[in-house]
């Protein structure tokens, strides 16, 4: 399925580290897969900024850094899943593959270990965005 060319998707990237945010936006690029619309990025360095953005709406995917300080992305993922109605899918970056149990606890929809594997991140993001678009189409 191909989506409208005038449509864009918004990806919220949360990390206190600007280099991590840059790695994510660089790995995903303008579009993580040819069948998806172009991406816009909303970069957040603090938890309050993430919560404000999600409360406004319009976010299609969240990518949270599990190693962010002072509030890690895993705890934030669990919080937004509990508090934000219609929460977009959340992809967390975990410190190592053994931390996948923490990603499950956080209720994240997907997890990628750091350092960021560009192909794995793009594939996971594309899968979550396709599901989000499918759900949006069904509800309209």
User: For each of the chain's 140 residues, which pLDDT tens digit applies?
Assistant: 445 556 899 999 999 999 999 999 999 999 999 999 999 999 999 999 999 999 999 999 999 999 999 999 999 999 999 999 999 999 999 988 888 889 999 999 999 999 889 999 999 999 999 999 987 655 54
CA angle 36, 8, 21 (to 5 degrees): 90
CATH of the domain at 119: 3.40.50.2300
pLDDT at 5: 53
**Looking at the domain assignment, is residue 108 inside a domain?**
yes
* pLDDT at res. 96: 85
Tell me if 2 is assigned to some domain. no
Q: Reading across the β-sheet that carries 110-113, which strands appear in turn?
A: 38-44, 8-14, 61-65, 90-94, 110-113
Quote the pTM value. 0.92
| Residues 6+ away with beta carbon under 8 Å from 70 | 16
Residue 3 lies in a domain: no
Query: What's residue 7's pLDDT?
Result: 87
Question: In sequence order, which residues have a C-beta less than 8 Å from that of residue 33 and are 6 or more positions away?
Answer: 122, 126, 130
Does residue 77 form part of some domain? yes
Kindly report each contact of residues 78-85 with a partner whose C-beta sits within 8 Å and lies 24 or more positions away, as own/partner: 78/105, 78/106, 78/107, 80/50, 80/51, 80/54, 81/106, 81/107, 83/51, 84/54, 84/55
Is the residue at 107 inside a domain? yes
Q: Residue 54: which domain range?
A: 8-139
Is 125 inside a domain boundary?
Answer: yes
Q: How many domains does the chain have?
A: 1
74 inside domain:
yes
Smallest CA-to-CA distance from 1 within 130, 140, 126, 122 is with 130
CB atoms within 10 A of CB 16: 18
């Amino acid at each position: 399925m191909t989506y409208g060319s005038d449509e864009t998707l918004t990806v919220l990237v949360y990390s206190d580290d600007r280099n991590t945010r840059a790695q994510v936006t660089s790995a995903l690029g303008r579009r993580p897969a040819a069948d998806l619309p172009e991406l816009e990025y909303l970069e957040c360095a603090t938890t309050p900024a993430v919560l404000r953005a999600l409360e406004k709406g319009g976010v299609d995917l969240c990518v949270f850094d599990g190693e962010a300080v002072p509030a890690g992305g895993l705890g934030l993922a669990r919080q937004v899943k509990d508090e934000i109605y219609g929460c977009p899918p959340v992809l967390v970056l975990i410190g190592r593959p053994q931390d996948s149990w923490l990603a499950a606890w956080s209720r994240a929809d997907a997890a990628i270990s750091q350092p960021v594997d560009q192909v794995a991140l793009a594939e996971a993001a594309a899968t979550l965005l396709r599901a989000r678009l499918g759900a949006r189409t069904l509800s309209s």
